[in-house]
Amino acid sequence: MEKAAENRRTIAFLGLGVMGGPMAGHLARAGHRVIAYNRTPSRASKWKEALESDGLSVATASTPADAASAADVVITCVGNDEDLEQVLLSDSGALGVMKPGSLLIDHTTVSAHMARRVFAIASEQEIDAIDAPVSGGQAGAENARLAIMCGGTDKAFRRAEPVMQAYGARIVHVGSAGAGQTAKMANQMCIAGVLGGLSEAVRLVQASGMDSDKVLEAISGGAAQSWQMENRWKTMIEGDFDFGFAIDWMRKDLGYALEEAERLGLSTPVTTMIDQFYADVQVMGGSRQDTSALIRRLPQGKQP
């Protein structure tokens, strides 16, 4: 009991979207005192009511600063660079009230430049900070099975890892500040390329009139196997694209990846092409559909 009390933290969690909401809930279930902020107050209220109905005591705040003022740890999980700047660096932002010796964990997927900027400002205030974008989608957040790639100092990572274990299944320290974001860019580039090939393969099988379940059984045990194949092959065939991670967000992430690659003088023809394919799906009305909706831009072809 004493050990549980010793490990209990006061945590400000900023951002209760499809990822942040479940993650903040896991922290409350792990015994931490969670004070949450969300730009849409009604979402924060629903989150609080749901957890209280499970017998958990949580709180909400009207501004990021109000949430962070008494926190040992501040965790952010918002949309993009601009959102992160608003919750951390604005007049009502959290960094302005965080105490020296506290810890900042950013789970937002942002640019590497933004991650390094936040790290520098936090360091000036004697705050440990890591950039820790996540992968695993809504299901990973809900089931506490997220992969987390972390950039920052060894000290900050050692402090953050026990907190993140409430919702992370694989937590890896990949390098200095900004490295977590660069790893997430690589992650998104890999997903985009896989979905491009998978979309074409599914259409080939459909046009051939084959039993798609049998084909999946045959090829998913070999070198073609991937998470996307295991989890999205059947849903792509069924035209089901409601899985939480929207194409709008993928294009945001790929944009950061393409910017960083350009800064490093790299050529990215596949990522550039898939990004434009996603733009096509946006024009078709698929902006809020899951990334596997990439298949929608491909006609089904003629069956024999």
Q: Rounded distance, CA 275 to CA 255, Å?
A: 8
DSSP 98: P
48 phi and psi, to 5 degrees? -65, -45
Instruction: Please report how the helices 247-263 and 269-283 are oriented relative to each other, as an axis angle in degrees rounded to 10.
Output: 150
Where in the sequence numbering do the catalytic residues fall? 184
Q: Rounded distance, CA 119 to CA 105, Å?
A: 10
Q: Rounded distance, CA 178 to CA 111, Å?
A: 8
Residue 175 pairs in a beta bridge with 151
